[in-house]
Amino acid sequence: MDKIRWGILGTANIARAELAPAIMRASNAEVGAIASRSSKVFEVANELSIESAYESYDELLEDDEIDAVYIPLPNHLHKEWVIKAARKGKHVLCEKPASLTTEEAREMVQVCKDSNVKFMEAFMYQFHPQHHRVRSIIASGEIGEVMLFKSSHSFYFAERANDIRMMKEGGGSIYDVGCYSIHAMRSILRTEPVEVQAYAELDPDAQVDVSAYSFLKLENGAKAVLDCSFDMVDRNEYEIVGTKGSIKVPFAFRPDHNGGLGHVIVQTGTFKREEKIYGDIYRMEVEHFSRAVLEDLEPAYSGASTIQNMRVIDACYESIRTGERVKIKR
């Protein structure tokens, strides 16, 4: 087998616009089937030239021709369908956040392990080579000792009625976009947070966080300031501030909105330079996971790291609920 045959559970916009085309661009993958709970799936399958279409997710999981599934369902359905897919022997790429709690993530990861299938949470941005470059600049000592990590991820969300991001179960800005900043903080700095104080502005009707602000202490002594929002202009950036200089990445999470071009801006004193680096993040994500399946490798982003990311998200929500600083367990 030289290509992984993928099935897609759901016809969400990200599946139609991003993942299905990325699978088609990938060198080691192909789309074999798509499922939905409505007859709309046949229209989508025809539009994307996907061979098989099913009006239920279970039907797709019974398809012996499918090796792996991509799950872009609403957040509160991730656990159910990751577990069902794993128990049917399908490898699983699941949209972020993989779960709603640490306990859910732990259960999902364990079932995948017990079922001998690969699992990865779909933080697609991490495969862009600009982040490897950032880590190498930090390691070189060019900006000195890292003191502060800042990240902002937001967009102005106007049409909110009946949108799943406004659902009490699984909605809110931390689950939708704040999780990226938490992931980047841990991934780029290669350290874990030990304490968080978080605040949020809640929608008065839906009671979900439409904006959130988190202040974290990291185990290496650095600090982090993260914000996310449905009420602010589009931003998807992080900045790392050291004792000698800083690194800014203005298209950190959605370089695809900039034609795939990432920017790494380094400033030390009065000297400033900008490096531009290209990457096709969705294709690279698909190829990475497909290669892990084909070669029986562990995905670069592990289940254990997914669990830890959820611990941080849980701690943010606990701090918002209680108004207190919250310790974060490893």
Question: Domain-by-domain residue ranges, the chain?
Answer: 4-122, 126-283+310-327
Candidates 88, 130, 127; CA nearest to 299 is 127
* Per-residue model confidence (pLDDT) at position 188: 98
Cα–Cα distance between 220 and 110 in angstroms, integer? 29
Question: Beta strand pairing status for 261-268 and 246-249?
Answer: antiparallel
* Per-residue model confidence (pLDDT) at position 160: 86
Report the topology of domain 4-122: Rossmann fold (3.40.50)
Q: Which residue intervals of the chain are DSSP H helices?
A: 13-14, 20-25, 40-48, 57-61, 78-87, 102-114, 129-140, 173, 179-189, 281-294, 303-322
Q: Evaluate whether 167 touches 76 at the Cβ level (below 8 Å).
A: yes
> Does the model's pTM come out above 0.85?
yes
Q: What is the pLDDT of residues 259-289, one digit of tens each?
A: 999 999 999 999 999 999 999 999 999 999 9
The tokens describing 266, both together, are 């380094």
**Over pLDDT 70: what percentage of the chain?**
100
* Per-residue model confidence (pLDDT) at position 260: 98
Candidates 145, 127, 154; CA nearest to 189 is 145
* Per-residue model confidence (pLDDT) at position 234: 97
Give me the numbers of helices (H) and strands (E) for the chain, helices first please: 11, 15
Q: What is the pLDDT of residues 198-220, one digit of tens each?
A: 999 999 999 999 999 999 999 99
Report the topology of domain 126-283+310-327: Dihydrodipicolinate Reductase; domain 2 (3.30.360)
* Per-residue model confidence (pLDDT) at position 330: 79
Q: Residue 1: pLDDT band by 50, 70, 90 thresholds?
A: confident
Q: What is the pLDDT of residues 170-193, one digit of tens each?
A: 999 999 999 999 999 999 999 999
The tokens describing 294, both together, are 């084909």
State yes or no: pLDDT of 244 exceeds 90. Answer: yes
Q: What is the pLDDT of residues 127-184, one digit of tens each?
A: 999 999 999 999 999 999 999 999 999 999 888 888 899 999 999 999 999 999 999 9
